Amino acid sequence: MRSTLKLYREQAHHDYQLLRATKEKNILLAQLTNSQAVENLVLNSRILKLTEEKETQVKATVGRDLRLACDKYKEAMFEITKGCMAKLETQYEEVLQIKYHPVRH
């Protein structure tokens, strides 16, 4: 009976030590998981900031390129319009000369 009690106590002590080690291991794993979660949040925050900065750079670049293209288009349209207006004025003057100063044969 004593040897059975002794074995039971040894087994209980062994089980207690195993449970204690498992509990400590779980606590350490939870701390590690929390630490990794915090690191992931920090990294995700950095990635988000970098993405936002790149998006702003792209918008600025596209905006600048778009403004330059629009300016070139406006300039080209102005030149075309100016040329057309000059031609129309010349043609109008010719029409007026013919109307008010007909060529007599």
| Structural domain boundaries, residue 11 | 1-74
pLDDT of residue 62: 84
**CA 18, CA 28: separation in Å to the nearest integer?**
15
Judge whether 28 lies within some domain. Answer: yes
DSSP conformation class of 105: -
Is 84 within a domain? no
Q: Is residue 44 part of a domain?
A: yes
DSSP-assigned states of every residue in 3-21:
HHHHHHHHHHHHHHHHHHH
In-domain check, residue 90: no
Return the beta strands (E) in 4-82 as ranges: none
pLDDT in tens, 31-83: 989 889 899 999 999 999 999 999 988 888 888 888 889 899 999 888 888 88
* Residue 85 belongs to a domain: no
Count how many domains the chain has.
1
23 within some domain: yes
